[in-house]
Amino acid sequence: MGAGHAHKLYRHARSPVHALPPHCKIAAVFCFVLVVVATPREALWAFGLYALLLAVVTAAARVPAAFLLRRLLIEVPFVAFAVLLPFVAQGERVTVWGLSLSESGLWGAWNILAKGTLGVAASVLLASTTELRALLLGLQRLRMPPLLVQIASFMIRYGDVVTDEMRRMRIARESRGFTARGVRHWKVLATSAGALFIRSYERGERVHLAMVSRGYTGTMPVIDEVTATRAQWTYAAALPLAALAVCLTGWMLT
């Protein structure tokens, strides 16, 4: 049972980005994405500069480019949606390669593609340079309610256990010759989901009893208090501040 110690999205390395306190990184990524979303879409060059900024961070974090690009595949469904936009949007039509496309639709598609990709890349960078536990501690440092952080940490800790439970049930089904082929088999799968719920809930009750017997009173003690120095905050703020400069220039020029 080696699961649960590190999530597979995290890439262990020693780099200045890994060493930053988690709450600085979360705040920086959030501000960066917010700035990107607020940028006017006509400023094409601004998005190029943002991509360059992220590339610099990637290099500093020693995350291989191939790893980052592979993780970007998650946004494929929305790419499909963006490709449809020029065909359904209103407004002036332009003819490209013999196809009649809406100009505002093209802008909209570009807008979603550029901003969505930058957002995904920023979150992937955050997840691959920050350990899960540190991420949750960082959220707590940023004044997220402690109860919510606890729920999230339980979800992450037991996510693998519950998923494994589901995998064992699947193996049990398949070893009895079951293959789900259509709507007729929904009943079997739904019964599995029901059994999974009962097992998860009962496990939750057992975990709670075990915690109470060890002195749990409703809050988890924080053992390692992470604090950030001013230098670390400045270092983390470099990314969103540079992005803000680009964004403001973009607004002035367009």
What are 108's two structure tokens?
């909209």
CB of 160 to another protein, least distance (A): 9
C-beta closer to another protein: residue 187 or 230: 187
Please list, residue by residue across 106-145, b when 16 or more beta carbons sit within 10 angstroms of its beta carbon and e when fewer do.
bbbbbbbbbbbbbbbbbbbbbbbbbbbbbbbbbbbbeeee
Angle at the Cα of 43 from the Cα atoms of 39 and 69, rounded to 5 degrees: 75
Find the shortest distance in angstroms from Cβ 54 to another protein: 13
With CB under 8 A as the contact rule, the residue among 61, 120, 236, 246 that binds another protein is 120
Enclosing H/E stretch for 96: strand 93-96
Q: Is 102 helix (H, G, I), strand (E, B) or coil?
A: strand
Amino acid at 182: G
**3-state DSSP assignment of residue 231:** helix
Size of the residue set binding another protein (CB under 8 A): 87
Q: In this chain, which of 112, 226, 237, 242 binds another protein, going by CB under 8 A?
A: 112
Q: Decide if residue 180 touches another protein (CB under 8 A).
A: yes
Residue 146 tokens, joined: 């402690």
Quick one: which of 4, 16, 64, 159 contacts another protein (CB under 8 A)? 159
Please, which residue, 90 or 95, has the CB nearer to another protein?
90
Which part of the chain contacts another protein (CB under 8 A), choosing from 11-19, 54-62, 155-163, 229-237? Answer: 155-163
Q: From 13-21, 48-56, 191-199, 226-234, give the range in contact with another protein by CB under 8 A.
A: 191-199
CA distances (Å), origin 238, targets 31, 54, 57, 231: 11, 12, 10, 11
Please give the DSSP secondary-structure letter assigned to residue 100.
Answer: E
Instruction: Identify the helix (H) or strand (E) that includes residue 91.
Output: none
Judged by CB under 8 A, the residue of 56, 99, 145, 245 near another protein is: 145
CA distance 245 to 254: 14
- 150 touches another protein (CB under 8 A): yes
Within residues 76-105, the interface with another protein by CB under 8 A covers 78, 85, 88-91, 104-105
User: Would you count residue 232 as binding another protein (CB under 8 A)?
Assistant: no
Does the footprint of another protein cover residue 248 (CB under 8 A)?
no
Q: Answer yes or no whether residue 187 interacts with another protein by CB under 8 A.
A: yes
The only residue of 45, 178, 201, 251 in contact with another protein, by rule CB under 8 A: 201
- Residue range at the interface with another protein (CB under 8 A); choices 59-67, 177-185, 224-232, 234-242: 177-185
